[in-house]
């Protein structure tokens, strides 16, 4: 009986804190498991940007935020079946609608090295998560006993803090910003040279092979620029002509580099006199670009990639790059000719 009296006389929030802490711990343990797997897989090839803490903290903040929303819903409507649905769906719908990187920035799907988390904006989001947790703990059930004194002040304060934190999130601005260009670039020792962010160190041997394949393109047809840069490496965010390594895909990088080499090598074409002439020009350009891409990638489009310039049969390009060099040169010459031959406007 002493125990029951002791528990009964405790302020409500002292009973709620361990419950919410337990829920949050479940979420954080699951989140940590995913993080540890990612760390274990990548640690051996990791560059200087290994597991940026900013993104991990942002995710942990969302775990706390959603666990708190669930706790609050559970106190107001105690149903083991409905509460997971209410809390899960509302958090999911809200995050999907306004939580994305382009809106309130509570989650990101991928982080390119030229983008970084803004510390102030991150702190604003963590403060909001903590404020909602306080709200879940201090605000009583509407049907519960009337609360008095210190409890009431705590509850009102937590409501005020949540409102302030929401304002803070808006005031802090976007959660990500462009990163300044690095002081030292990581480049292949080849000609042409390919430069990447230090974070992408593990791709360097593959880029070295790619640069060597670019150097081996037939010199009478192909004029390659001396250097290629990953997006953001020259400052100012994305710029035309710089490549990206989307989801670690060397094919995507080859597409970007292939287009730049194509632009430098194809004859300067005029505007087509009619749609058919323009289409002829673009078709030839797209085909040459695709051929260069397949050459420097060391083979045709991989099975897990699809899409590409319109009207180009990627399977045919894959076959073409395995044919004798003379045949390929002839094929490219035809297309260079076609670009020069169109009726000009």
Partner 1 sequence: MRESDAWRTIARFARAHDVRGVLVAFALIAVCDAIFGSTVLQLPYTGGEAGVPFRRELPLAFASVAAASLSSPMRRFEETAAAAFRAAQHAWLGGVVTSAAVVLTVEELIISPPATAVILLRALLVWTGIALLSGRVFGWRLSFILPMASVFPLTYWQYDGQGRNRWWDWTHQPPMSLGCWAIAGAALAAGSLAVAVTPWRAARGRAHLAAALGRTRTVSPR
Question: Least distance to partner 1 from the beta carbon of 182, Å?
Answer: 25
Question: Least distance to partner 1 from the beta carbon of 100, Å?
Answer: 7
Q: Which of 3, 220, 240, 304 binds partner 1 (CB under 8 A)?
A: 304
CA contacts within 13 A on the Cβ side of 317: 25
If one asks whether residue 110 binds partner 1 (CB under 8 A), the answer comes out as: yes
Residue in this structure with the two tokens 């490549």, named with its chain if needed: 243
If one asks whether residue 303 binds partner 1 (CB under 8 A), the answer comes out as: yes
Count of residues touching partner 1 (by CB under 8 A): 26
Question: Given 3-state DSSP classes, what are the helix, strand and coil percentages for the chain, each rounded to the nearest 5?
Answer: 60, 5, 35
Q: Which of 5, 81, 219, 326 binds partner 1 (CB under 8 A)?
A: 81
3-state secondary structure 273-330: CCHHHHHHHHHHHHHHHHHHHHHHHCCCCCCCCCCCCCCCCHHHHHHHCCCCHHHHHH
* Cα separation, 204 vs 183, whole angstroms: 18
Residue in this structure with the two tokens 């710029």, named with its chain if needed: 239
Question: Least distance to partner 1 from the beta carbon of 34, Å?
Answer: 11
List of long-range contacts for 178-181, beta carbons under 8 Å, 24+ apart: 178/114, 178/115, 178/116, 178/232, 178/236, 178/237, 179/113, 179/114, 179/115, 179/116, 179/232, 180/235, 181/232, 181/233, 181/234, 181/235
Binding flags for partner 1, 176-205, as an x/- string (CB under 8 A): ------------------------------
If one asks whether residue 142 binds partner 1 (CB under 8 A), the answer comes out as: no
Give the DSSP letter of residue 112: -
Q: Which of 60, 66, 83, 277 binds partner 1 (CB under 8 A)?
A: 83
Question: Least distance to partner 1 from the beta carbon of 75, Å?
Answer: 15
If one asks whether residue 144 binds partner 1 (CB under 8 A), the answer comes out as: no
If one asks whether residue 25 binds partner 1 (CB under 8 A), the answer comes out as: no
Question: Least distance to partner 1 from the beta carbon of 82, Å?
Answer: 4
Q: Which of 37, 93, 98, 180 binds partner 1 (CB under 8 A)?
A: 93
If one asks whether residue 41 binds partner 1 (CB under 8 A), the answer comes out as: no
Mark the segment that binds partner 1 (CB under 8 A) among 45-53, 93-101, 199-207, 208-216.
93-101
SS3 127: helix
In the complex with partner 1, the residue whose CB is nearer, 86 or 118, is: 86
Q: How far is CA 19 from CA 24, 60, 64, 127, 135, in A?
A: 9, 18, 13, 20, 14
Binding flags for partner 1, 243-262, as an x/- string (CB under 8 A): ---xx-x-------------
Question: Least distance to partner 1 from the beta carbon of 99, Å?
Answer: 11
CB-based contact 23:91 (threshold 8 Å): no
In the complex with partner 1, the residue whose CB is nearer, 313 or 330, is: 313
* Cα separation, 291 vs 301, whole angstroms: 10
If one asks whether residue 84 binds partner 1 (CB under 8 A), the answer comes out as: yes
CA contacts within 13 A on the Cβ side of 264: 17
If one asks whether residue 26 binds partner 1 (CB under 8 A), the answer comes out as: no
If one asks whether residue 307 binds partner 1 (CB under 8 A), the answer comes out as: yes
Those residues whose C-beta lies under 8 Å from the C-beta of residue 23, and which sit 6 or more positions away, are 67, 70, 71
Question: Least distance to partner 1 from the beta carbon of 307, Å?
Answer: 7
Give the interface with partner 1 as residue ranges (CB under 8 A). Answer: 77, 79-86, 88-89, 93, 96-97, 100, 109-110, 246-247, 249, 302-307
């Amino acid at each position: 009986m002493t125990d029951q009296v002791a528990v009964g006389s405790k302020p409500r929030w002292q009973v709620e804190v361990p419950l919410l802490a337990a829920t949050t711990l479940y979420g954080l343990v699951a989140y940590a498991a995913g993080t540890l797997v990612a760390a274990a897989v990548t640690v051996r090839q990791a560059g200087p940007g290994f597991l940026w803490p900013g993104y991990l903290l942002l995710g942990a903040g969302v775990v706390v935020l959603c666990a708190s929303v669930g706790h609050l819903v559970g106190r107001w409507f105690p149903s083991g079946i409905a509460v997971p649905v209410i809390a899960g769906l509302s958090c999911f719908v809200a995050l999907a609608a306004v939580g994305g990187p382009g809106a309130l920035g509570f989650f990101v799907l991928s982080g390119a090295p030229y983008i970084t988390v803004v510390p102030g904006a991150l702190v604003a989001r963590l403060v909001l998560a903590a404020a909602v947790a306080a709200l879940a703990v201090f605000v009583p059930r509407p049907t519960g006993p009337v609360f008095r004194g210190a409890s009431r002040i705590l509850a009102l304060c937590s409501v005020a803090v949540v409102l302030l934190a929401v304002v803070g999130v808006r005031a802090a601005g976007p959660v990500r910003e462009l990163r300044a260009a690095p002081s030292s670039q990581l480049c292949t020792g080849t000609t042409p040279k390919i430069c990447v962010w230090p974070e992408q160190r593990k791709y360097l041997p593959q880029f070295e092979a790619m640069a060597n394949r670019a150097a081996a393109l037939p010199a009478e047809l192909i004029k390659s620029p001396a250097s290629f840069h990953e997006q953001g490496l020259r400052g100012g965010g994305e710029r035309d002509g710089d490549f990206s390594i989307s989801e670690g895909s060397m094919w995507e990088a080859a597409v970007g580099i292939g287009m730049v080499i194509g632009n430098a090598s194809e004859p300067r074409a005029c505007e087509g006199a009619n749609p058919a002439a323009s289409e002829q020009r673009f078709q030839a350009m797209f085909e040459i670009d695709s051929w260069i891409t397949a050459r420097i990638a060391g083979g045709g489009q991989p099975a897990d990639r699809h899409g590409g310039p319109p009207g180009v049969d990627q399977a045919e390009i894959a076959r073409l790059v395995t044919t004798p060099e003379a045949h390929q040169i002839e094929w490219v010459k035809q297309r260079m000719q076609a670009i020069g031959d169109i009726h000009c406007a």
